[in-house]
Amino acid sequence: TQLLEQSPQFLSIQEGENLTVYCNSSSVFSSLQWYRQEPGEGPVLLVTVVTGGEVKKLKRLTFQFGDARKDSSLHITAAQPGDTGLYLCAGTSGNTPLVFGKGTRLSVIA
């Protein structure tokens, strides 16, 4: 069974700070996705990474896929209150269903 471990589980920071959240597994994934979920809503896809070592940037968010395709990180620069939410990573290998981690709950305080 493929498992994705996310850390930290909870993170509370001040506006303007930088942060990094992690997604780790002992399994290799062919692709990995990051989602953000706000209370009362479904997850919204932020990015998909497919190549080992790949780095993608989305405004203040930087996503990296590990060289061995077993781990990923999300770095947020100068966090804003609008970044508050549950960040989920999800991976698939070949034609397997998406497996989600438990998420990192981020709170950015103004």
Partner 1 sequence: EAGVAQSPRYKIIEKRQSVAFWCNPISGHATLYWYQQILGQGPKLLIQFQNNGVVDDSQLPKDRFSAERLKGVDSTLKIQPAKLEDSAVYLCASSLHSSRALNTQYFGPGTRLTVL
- Binding residues for partner 1, rule: CB under 8 A, are 4, 30-31, 40-45, 48, 50, 88, 90, 92, 94-98, 100-103
Residue 56 vs 102, nearer CB to partner 1: 102
Q: In angstroms, give the least distance from the CB of 78 to partner 1.
A: 27
Nearest distance from residue 32's CB to partner 1, in Å?
10
Amino acid letter at 29? F
Q: Which is nearer to partner 1, 82 or 97 (CB)?
A: 97
And the tokens for 57? 């940037």
Q: CB of 36 within 8 A of CB of 46?
A: yes
What's the DSSP call for residue 98?
P
Nearer to partner 1, 9 or 26 (CB): 9
Which structure tokens are listed for 87? 């960040």
Query: What's the sign of the alpha-carbon dihedral 42, 77, 29, 48?
Result: positive
Minimal distance, residue 97 CB to partner 1, in Å: 4
Q: Which is nearer to partner 1, 42 or 82 (CB)?
A: 42
Number of H helices, E strands in the chain: 0, 11
